[in-house]
Amino acid sequence: KRAASAASSTQPLLPRRGYSSESAPERKVAVLGAAGGIGQPLALLMKLNPLVSSLSLYDIAGTPGVAADVSHINTRSEVAGYMGEDQLGKALEGCDLVIIPAGVPRKPGMTRDDLFNINAGIVKSLSAAIAKYCPNALVNMISNPVNSTVPIAAEVFKKAGTYDEKKLFGVTMLDVVRAKTFYAGKAKVPVEGVNVPVVGGHAGITILPLFSQATPKANLSDEDIKALTKRTQDGGTEVVEAKAGKGSATLSMAYAGAIFADACLKGLNGVPDVVECSFVQSSITELPFFASKVKLGKNGVEEVLDLGPLSDYEKQGLESLLPELKSSIEKGIKFANQG
């Protein structure tokens, strides 16, 4: 089976030559927030993914245009656009995977937590709709603050009686993408072969890249590792400042989101040994959610992998991130349970 042959996340996203739709099962994927800065390029990249048979694009405005545009691309998936809450059910019905980049992005000077007040409500209502219309779908949460929005979704699903901890993912893939790029530059190795696990959460110091486990190995100084760590943690802010008020990362985020969604689809389809980092329910630390390497399978999370050996610098980073991550998780849980 061709579709089951390649598990590597470095696979190109373009359709494979000689692809036949008979070789991959039907998969419906929805993007919620599809007309936004991330949503549009993510819709494009998901349209290029041959594992998708039905692409459902939902937003509160602007989706008919995005859907019409993307639908003309001659790849496998059927595209449909849905706009406004009364069409959300149709957008979600039968979904295998729901990707959520809905909500406001940062402006210069803002932290991800500053987005909480607006995005928490959006995520809460979208999660309630998922529980109602596609309770078995995998959910890829992109909306920030991910450290809080994932716990919010979990609480909403628990209340609805649909929570399956194997199916809820906070998308931290952009931190991995950045760590790989920055490491390759510093270590002067070809970026395509680079791997760097990033653990913890998705905001500031909660983003903990494990450069001691990076491959291929390079002899970087402590100073270099510190600088790489800081740049990975501040990568989002670098883009926010460069965009000077026009939003945060969209193109690199769409790429990272598409790679992660592809890994989830491969897992669903039974491709073996698909491993990516994600913020999931976890027991590898004392916190209920934590990002680490996760093995993806037919039901979503097959195994949460432990952290592996950490350098002293990384051990320190881990200690100092736990309180902040804990309070972001608690903030999400509290929000979901009020009112």
For the question of residue 202 being annotated catalytic, the response is yes
Given the residues 106, 112, 202, 326, the one annotated as active site? 202
Instruction: Select from 36, 197, 297, 300 the one that contacts ligand NAI (CB under 6 A).
Output: 36
Instruction: Select from 31, 37, 79, 293 the one that contacts ligand NAI (CB under 6 A).
Output: 37
What are the backbone dihedrals phi and psi of residue 168, each rounded to the nearest 5 degrees, phi first?
A: -115, 125
> Which of these segments, 33-41, 216-224, 268-276, 291-299, binds ligand NAI (CB under 6 A)?
33-41
Q: Is 171 near ligand NAI (CB under 6 A)?
A: yes
State which residue, 76 or 178, has the beta carbon closest to ligand NAI: 178
Closest to 276 (Cα-Cα) out of 250, 251, 252, 302: 302
Instruction: Select from 31, 95, 120, 122 the one that contacts ligand NAI (CB under 6 A).
Output: 122
Q: Is 209 near ligand NAI (CB under 6 A)?
A: no
State which residue, 24 or 156, has the beta carbon closest to ligand NAI: 156
Instruction: Select from 97, 199, 249, 294 the one that contacts ligand NAI (CB under 6 A).
Output: 249
CA distances from 254 to 36, 115, 186, 188, 197 (A): 11, 19, 24, 26, 19
Strand duo 97-100 + 138-141: pairing: parallel
Residue nearest to ligand NAI (CB): 36
Instruction: Select from 99, 102, 153, 194 the one that contacts ligand NAI (CB under 6 A).
Output: 102
Q: Is 70 near ligand NAI (CB under 6 A)?
A: no
Residues that bind ligand NAI (CB under 6 A): 32-33, 35-39, 59-61, 101-106, 115, 119, 122, 126, 142-144, 146, 171, 174, 202, 247-250, 253
- Which residue numbers are catalytic? 202
